[in-house]
Structure 1
């Protein structure tokens, strides 16, 4: 008989909720959301990234990213600059304040990740990632 508690969707959903909540609470002390932190990561990693590319990286709708960038711009952490070759394209850059904030906050993610995998072998982690990626492929193939 089907048991919802054994359903991989429920197990991963519960796990994700706890992980997201825990990381969000650590970031709250720095007055930044998890989604803003992720955006700073990607923009800093690829200066000049377009809003469309950022939306793809973050797996968000472009309209959601536009609102996110509005907030980051108001906080003086991100600049929007029109592309010189194609004025329809907007490139994203960190301000000096944005770079400083990113540098200060990225170690939080690294520490959080290390805390989360403490006591788990490299082999088990590799297996977990491999299996989870296969599950994602299986369910996205059915949807598309």
Structure 2
């Protein structure tokens, strides 16, 4: 068993890096990074949404999310609206261009994931997700 846990940790890290790199290459044609995609995806599913909630859903810190949002607004992929009753509250949503781009990106992400999980049954992926959740819980 010596080295077994280290091997598992190493393989997990290698697969995570390869997955991220593969996704990054798929997103390049859209001028979007995987980090930007994670924010766009959350906003697409949860809009209108606050920056604080985006940070929670993406598990990123507030300054990182703020930088990503600024870039996405400059790229005309997101819009920011200030609450009429409470000017401290800002709601974020996808712009029309953002909605179109998200759908194109989602298609690429789905194709990429289909490639990643080729030959693996859904039941096996469910077990894998359960194991990952337990490992993540142990890390908390």
TM-score by length of 1: 0.89
Secondary structure of 2:127's match?
Answer: helix
What pairs with 1:1-144 in structure 2 (closer than 5 Å)?
2-3=2-3, 6-140=6-140
Cα separation, partners in 2 of 1:9 and 1:85, compared to 1, 3 Å: farther
Q: Following the alignment from structure 2 to structure 1, what is the Cα–Cα distance between the partners of residues 85 and 4?
A: 53
Q: Following the alignment from structure 1 to structure 2, what is the Cα–Cα distance between the partners of residues 25 and 104?
A: 15
TM-score by length of 2: 0.91
Contact 1:4/1:10 (CA < 8 Å) preserved in 2? Answer: no
Q: Following the alignment from structure 1 to structure 2, what is the Cα–Cα distance between the partners of residues 4 and 79?
A: 48
User: Quick check: 17-26 or 116-125, which moved more?
Assistant: 116-125
Cα separation, partners in 2 of 1:9 and 1:89, compared to 1, 3 Å: farther
Per-residue deviation, 1:92: 0.3
Q: Following the alignment from structure 1 to structure 2, what is the Cα–Cα distance between the partners of residues 86 and 9?
A: 47
Which runs of 5 or more residues in structure 2 are unaligned? none
Return the structure number with greater relative CO, CA threshold 8 A, min gap 6.
2
The CA deviation string for residues 55-99 of structure 1, in whole angstroms up to 9 with x for no partner, is 111110111111111111111111111123322121101111111
Per-residue deviation, 1:5: 7.3
Contact 1:81/1:91 (CA < 8 Å) preserved in 2? Answer: yes
Q: Following the alignment from structure 2 to structure 1, what is the Cα–Cα distance between the partners of residues 65 and 19?
A: 22
Per-residue deviation, 1:131: 1.1
Contact 2:30/2:101 (CA < 8 Å) preserved in 1? Answer: no
Secondary structure of 1:137's match?
Answer: helix
CA RMSD of aligned residues (A): 1.6
